[in-house]
Amino acid sequence: MTRTPSFTLSALVVAISVLSQPLQAQSDVPADEQALTELQALANSESNAHTLPSLPELFARALRHDADLSRQRFELEATREEVPMARSQLLPQISASGSYLWQDSTNIQTSPDDFGLDQEATRPGEIDETVWQVQLQQPLFSLERWRKMDVAGAQVSAAELELAVVEQELALKVSEAYIKAYLAAQRLGLLEAQQDSLDLQVRQASRAFDLGVGNRVDLLEAQSRYDQAVSDAVEAENELDNALSELERLTGVMPGFQSTAPGELRTVTLDSNLGDPDTWIARTNQNLNVLLATEQQQVTKADTSVRRSGYYPELNLNVSYSDRASDDELRESEDYRASVELSVPIYRGGYTNASVRQGERRIEASMAAVDNERNLATQEVRQRMRSLKGGERRLQALSQAIESSQLFLEAAERGEQLGLRDLVDVLDARASLYDQRIQYVDTVGNYALDMLALHTAVGNLESQHLERMMTLLASMSASAQIAR
């Protein structure tokens, strides 16, 4: 993966290198100015080419690629078949049957000895027989079958909400992996820029120690800070690779994030018009998990109604036609039958009562599940609102801290050049500045995740919110381009 250094810090490195050269090397200054000009032109060309991967496009790919979402779609299609299956129990049931019989019997009617040698038996002893029958059954009254239609409809609605929940969870997973990858790339860029500046100071400390104007403590301190920066950069690179791997698993593609270090971080645009928390809490009834729990409660109620229908009788109309062909003429027949059957349940060993009580307990459990999901959504809204407001205040404080740390770093560098401060003060100031910038980047990422989670809690997470999050992250990249 190509690493793009921070050109603001590169310019600072070149400037410090110029100041640290002996007096006889001042003739090389025009070359350094030319290098700065080339670096600035390269930064401008890269800023024009640098764009973030499209999060809505990645989510669209995830909708087509994610296996768990595909499984849920097939589950929905399978559940939809419950409706025609339940309807079929109310329609006529027609069946046809056929049988073949071979029989060899000996009795008074089939044995010639019983009627005399000159008289044949009245019926044959060995017969071949075939029977064909067509039967139609039409339910006239069945409360259980009617109520199963309501169960099937509720099951389909619940399955549709389950699919919506899986899609929403997928959007959050893609967004979270996207933000983690972006923040890891920004953190890696900052650490690489810090590593470059620390490498310069290690070389300066080594040169000063070799010339006898520095001490070994400064050299060891600079080397220690450099090694720590290398270690942190390796960790950030691993985090970036893990986030990209997660995005590839979810979307099937590997997006590219450039490890560019943000600049002054002063143009980040936040959606500070959040409104009143009570307004958001009132919208938690549209939370998908709340709606799913409510629909599952309807399924339970419909199922309990089916259980109660076991107390009611059933009335069926039966019509049949049968044709029997046999070697025995007395067994041949052609029958037309029509009957109305009434079935009244009287006693089933207490099964119906126990089944109804079980359904009623499940209704109570589903009501508690709805209350639980509503409470969780309310708590989620309150928590995310606090996090968003706290994030705004934290970003303001970090912005001022970064500005102060930048001024302190410049003062420490001037003090070191004048001999008023040592290298450790410069290293401390630089480490503090980079730590605050990393904290700023992480806070922006947490702010974006909190905003998405807030819209999820009220059930209105849409593509436009993903685009707003991209705008928020792009504004941080834009500040890096302006700073260069």
What is the tens place of the pLDDT at every residue in 202-246? 887 788 777 776 677 778 888 888 888 889 889 989 999 999 999
pLDDT value for 218: 75
The whole-number average pLDDT for the span 115-126 is: 65
Closest CA to 181 of 238, 261, 257, 262: 257
| Statement: residue 325 has pLDDT above 80 | yes
- Burial of residue 174, with CB atoms counted within 10 A of its CB: 0-12 exposed, 13-18 middle, 19 or more buried: buried
More confident residue, 43 or 123: 123
- Burial of residue 461, with CB atoms counted within 10 A of its CB: 0-12 exposed, 13-18 middle, 19 or more buried: buried
Give me the DSSP letters along 417-449: HHTSS-HHHHHHHHHHHHHHHHHHHHHHHHHHH
What is the tens place of the pLDDT at every residue in 21-57? 333 333 333 334 443 344 344 334 333 334 778 888 9
| Statement: residue 381 has pLDDT above 90 | yes
Residue with tokens 């499984």: 71
Beta-carbon-side half-sphere exposure of residue 299 (alpha carbons within 13 Å): 20
pLDDT value for 113: 61
Closest CA to 268 of 77, 65, 480, 461: 480
| Statement: residue 99 has pLDDT above 60 | yes
CB 200 within 8 A of CB 14: no
The whole-number average pLDDT for the span 140-164 is: 94
**CA atoms of 295 and 88, how far apart (whole Å):** 24
**CA atoms of 480 and 475, how far apart (whole Å):** 9
More confident residue, 470 or 120: 470
Per CATH, the number for 54-76+152-296+366-483 is: 1.20.1600.10
Q: Please provide the average confidence, as pLDDT, over all residues in the chain.
A: 81
Beta-carbon-side half-sphere exposure of residue 435 (alpha carbons within 13 Å): 9
pTM for the predicted model, two decimal places: 0.76
Which range, of 73-82, 114-123, 232-241, 306-315, averages the lowest pLDDT? 114-123
Domain map of the chain by residue range? 54-76+152-296+366-483
| Statement: residue 80 has pLDDT above 50 | yes
Please report, rounded to a whole number, the percentage of residues in the chain having pLDDT higher than 90.
Answer: 46
More confident residue, 264 or 317: 317
Give me the residues paired with residue 322 across strands: 133, 335
pLDDT value for 39: 37
